[in-house]
Amino acid sequence: MNAGVEKGVAKAVTLRRNVQIELQVNGEPTEVSFAPYKTLLELLREDLDLPGTKHGCELGECGACTVLLDGEPVLSCLVLAVECAGRSVETVEGLAQGTRLHALQAALTDLGGSQCGYCTPGMLMTAKALLEREPSPSRERIREAIAGNICRCTGYQQIVDAIESAARELRAGGETAR
């Protein structure tokens, strides 16, 4: 069995040097230097001091690391950080305006859609993209949209309630809540 130890280990030794890119993070132009093997998830959490984006598997199997890349929800654990040059990234930290919560944030916590809170950042970003594209989604459409975000606490029902409620509020013109 010990023979297996050497198998499969990368043989090529690559030159180990940081790379540097510029991108927009939550609307701010940002310059950052990082190890090129890093994903957007690692870049945000480790190099941009934005740990609000969570990790649950790092293999694209849970949705916890969802961020918006050029407005689309993607899994930051499978986005190469070098591929974010010149692009726009939105994370949960950029959702509130100052201290005023986005309608989705307020609804999610007020209606029970956030228990342990770990899937919450990813869920919020997914929901934001949905409501920007479809202002009045049915419960079924909401479930389809969040089907890539696993939540172990809520059973999703109160999350769906919250997204429905926030959609109503946003349609009525409310941008933010307390």
Partner 1 sequence: MSGADKKFDVVGKARRRVDGRGKVVGQLRFADDLVLPRMLHCKLLRSPHPHAVVESVDVSRAEGHPGVHLVLTGEAFPVPYGIMPVSLDEHPLARERVRYVGDPVAAVVAKDEQSATEAIELIAVRYRPLPTIASPEEALANPEARIHDYGEQGNIHRNQAYEFGDVEGALAASDLVFEDLFFYEGNTHLPMEQQASLASVEGDGKLLLQSSTQNPHYLHRQLARVLQMPASQIRVIATPNGGGFGGKCDPGNHEFVVCKAALVLGRPVKISLTREEVFYQHRGRHPVLMKFRTGVSKDGKLTAMHLQTLLDGGAYGSHGPASTFYTGVLTPVTYQLPRFKFEACRVFTNKPACGPKRGHGTPQPRFGQEVQLDKIADKLDLDPAELRLGMVTEPGSLTASWLRVGTTGLAACIRSVVERSDWKAKHRKLPLGRGVGLACSTYMCGAGVAIYWNKMPHSAVQLLLDRSGQVTVYSGATEIGQGSDDVLAGLIAEALGIDTDAVRCITGDTGITPIDLGSYSSRVTIMMGNAALQAAGRVRDQLAAAAAEALDTLPERVVFSQGRVFAVDDAGKAMSFVEAVALAEAKFGTLSAVGSYTPPKPPGKYKGAGVGPSPAYSFSACVVETEVDPATGWIHVPKIWIAHDIGRALNPVLAKGQVIGGVYMGLGEALMEEQAFRRLPPKLSDALVHRNPSMLDYKSLTALDMPEVDVTLIEDPDPNCPYGAKEVGQGPLLPVMPALANAVYDAVGVRVDEVPVTPDKVLRALERKAKGEAARVGPEAFPEVPYPSPTFVLPPWENGDGDELKGADGKPVRRERRVATA
Partner 2 sequence: MMRLPWFEYRAPRSVAEAARILAGEGPGAMLVAGGTDLLPNMKRRHQSPSTLVALRGVDELKAVANGAGLQLGAGLTLTEVVDTPAVRERYTGLWQAAAQVATPHLRNMGTLGGNVCLDTRCTYYNQSYEWRKAIDFCLKKDGETCWVATASKRCVAVSSTDTAPALIALDAKARLASVGGTREIAIADLYRNDGIDFLARKPEELLSAILLPEANGWRSCYWKLRRRGSFDFPVLGVAAAAKLAADGTVEAARIALGAVASRPFLVPKAGEALVGRKLDDAAIGEVAGAVASRAKPMDNADMNLYWRKEVVSAFTTYALRELRGDDMRAERLRTARQALAA
Name which of partner 2, partner 1, none residue 121 binds, using a CB cut-off of 5 to 8 Å depending on partner kind. partner 1
Measured from the CB atom, the residue of 81 and 124 that comes closer to partner 1 is 124
For residue 94, the one-letter residue type is: G
What residues between 10 and 49 interact with partner 1 by CB under 8 A? 35, 37, 45
Shortest distance, CB of residue 145 to partner 1, whole angstroms?
8
Within a 13 Å sphere around the CA of 92, how many CA atoms are in the beta-carbon half? 26
What residues between 96 and 135 interact with partner 2 by CB under 8 A? 126
Does 175 sit near partner 1 (CB under 8 A)? no
Q: What is the dihedral of CA 130, 110, 102, 77, to 10 degrees?
A: -60
Q: Report whether 41 contacts 69 (CB < 8 A).
A: no
Does 9 sit near partner 1 (CB under 8 A)? yes
Name which of partner 1, partner 2, none residue 124 binds, using a CB cut-off of 5 to 8 Å depending on partner kind. partner 1
Residue 44, CA distances (Å) to 15, 29, 80, 90 in order = 23, 14, 12, 10
Does 2 sit near partner 1 (CB under 8 A)? yes
Does 145 sit near partner 2 (CB under 8 A)? yes
Q: Report whether 111 contacts 163 (CB < 8 A).
A: no
Does 1 sit near partner 2 (CB under 8 A)? yes
- The three-class DSSP label of residue 43 is helix
Name the strands in the sheet holding 88-90, side by side, starting at the edge strand that comes first in the sequence: 28-34, 19-25, 88-90, 66-69, 72-75
Which of 30-38, 96-104, 109-117, 156-164 is the region at the interface with partner 2 (rule: CB under 8 A)? 30-38
Q: Interface residues with partner 1 (CB under 8 A)?
A: 1-2, 4-5, 9, 35, 37, 45, 50-59, 61-62, 64, 91-93, 95-96, 101, 105-106, 108-112, 114-121, 124, 142-144, 146-160
